[in-house]
Amino acid sequence: MTKQSASASVEVSAEPATAFRIFTDEIDLWWVRGPINFFDASRAVAMQIEPGVGGRILEIYRRGSDTVDEDVLELGRITAWEPGSLLAYRSSVDDTETEIRFEPFDGGTRVSVEQALVRGGEKAFYFWPNVIPWFASWGARRDLPPTPRELDRLSIALYYEDPAAAIRWLHKVFGVDSWDSIAPDDEHPPWIELHIGNSAILLFQLKERGSGSRPVDHAVWVYVNDLDAHFARSSANGAKIVTEIHQHGYRAYEAEDLEGHRWTFAQARPTME
């Protein structure tokens, strides 16, 4: 049986023990706070790794207090904890196991991740190849004020027949960059982000609307404080609802304006300004 897995690697200037500490202790600083980067982005306020075998990898929704327990989602349980060498965990949300290795490389560290479907498993979210570049980016800017990258409340979406080819062209020709890695020639991810400052340009596969209608080639994304109230207002005032409120990492709905332009409204994260 062919092993089903996804892998990626990056290089950072820190030596392995330091790279391991930064990866684990500072995950809430290098983890990008975008709409699809959490299982429930509308509630997430932090990421955390508890040290040692048996420790948890957590998506935190509400900080604990003397009277309120901490509200968290357990993403996984650590199965190997070897500072400067290896971090491994078994996922609590799908059927995968992940290994992150730290190896000396030219005065720094090569950080390699492999996320694999366990034998007999059926469900896998292969997100680590998209995540690990954030760690390398954080390593290059740790001397700046230690603030996480938080998206602005307004984004635009562009639709292309080949989003991966488009991002390479936009990066090469216009110099638009990404917090993630630029997709290589042999990769065709379904969702790609470019960034200008803290604003995102989301690239999707071009969609047809049906006979006689123009295809969706661009859209606006807006993050609002109360998605349910916003949906009720749009519905009551005549917006054409394309998709009702749904959740896939983020809560959102889609609507069209009076001339058929597509808008996506999503629940803002608690830490969004």
CATH of the domain at 169: 3.10.180.10
pLDDT score of 17 more than 90: yes
Q: Which domain range does residue 102 map to? A: 5-139
Contacts of 171 (CB under 8 A, 6+ apart): 177, 178, 182, 194
Q: Domain holding 53: CATH number?
A: 3.30.530.20
In a domain, 128, yes or no: yes
Average confidence score pLDDT of the chain: 87
Max mean pLDDT among 7-16, 24-33, 77-86 falls in: 77-86
Same domain, 249 and 184: yes
Same domain, 251 and 170: yes
pLDDT band at 69 (very low <50, low <70, confident <90, very high): low
Instruction: Identify the weakest region by mean pLDDT among 5-14, 130-139, 248-257.
Output: 130-139
In a domain, 273, yes or no: no
In a domain, 44, yes or no: yes
Q: 138, 134, 98, 131: which is closest to 114 by C-alpha? A: 98
Domain count, the chain: 2
In a domain, 221, yes or no: yes
Same domain, 86 and 196: no
Same domain, 125 and 195: no
Compute CA 51 distance to the chain's CA centroid, rounded to the nearest angstrom. Answer: 23
Neighbours of 108 (CB within 10 A): 17
Query: What DSSP character marks residue 179?
Result: S
Same domain, 165 and 121: no
Same domain, 259 and 177: yes
Q: What is the mean pLDDT of residues 34-39?
A: 81
Q: Which residue has the higher pLDDT, 62 or 234?
A: 234
Same domain, 55 and 10: yes
The tokens for 96 are 């995968």
* 80, 105, 139 - which closes a domain: 139
Task: Report pLDDT for 270.
Answer: 85
In a domain, 112, yes or no: yes
Same domain, 132 and 166: no
Same domain, 61 and 103: yes
Q: Which residue has the higher pLDDT, 86 or 269?
A: 86
pLDDT score of 2 more than 60: no
In a domain, 15, yes or no: yes
pLDDT score of 1 more than 50: no
In a domain, 214, yes or no: yes
- pLDDT per residue over 144-166, tens digit each? 666 777 888 999 999 888 888 88
Same domain, 165 and 132: no
pLDDT band at 127 (very low <50, low <70, confident <90, very high): confident
Task: Report pLDDT for 183.
Answer: 67
Residues 117 and 121: their CA atoms lie apart, in Å, by 6
Same domain, 116 and 13: yes
pLDDT band at 189 (very low <50, low <70, confident <90, very high): low
Q: The pTM is what?
A: 0.77
**Are residues 5 and 94 in contact, defined by beta-carbon separation less than 8 angstroms?**
no
Same domain, 202 and 110: no
Contacts of 84 (CB under 8 A, 6+ apart): 15, 16, 17, 19, 20, 102
In a domain, 149, yes or no: no
Virtual CA dihedral for 100, 105, 107, 111, nearest 10 degrees? Answer: -20
The tokens for 175 are 């110099």
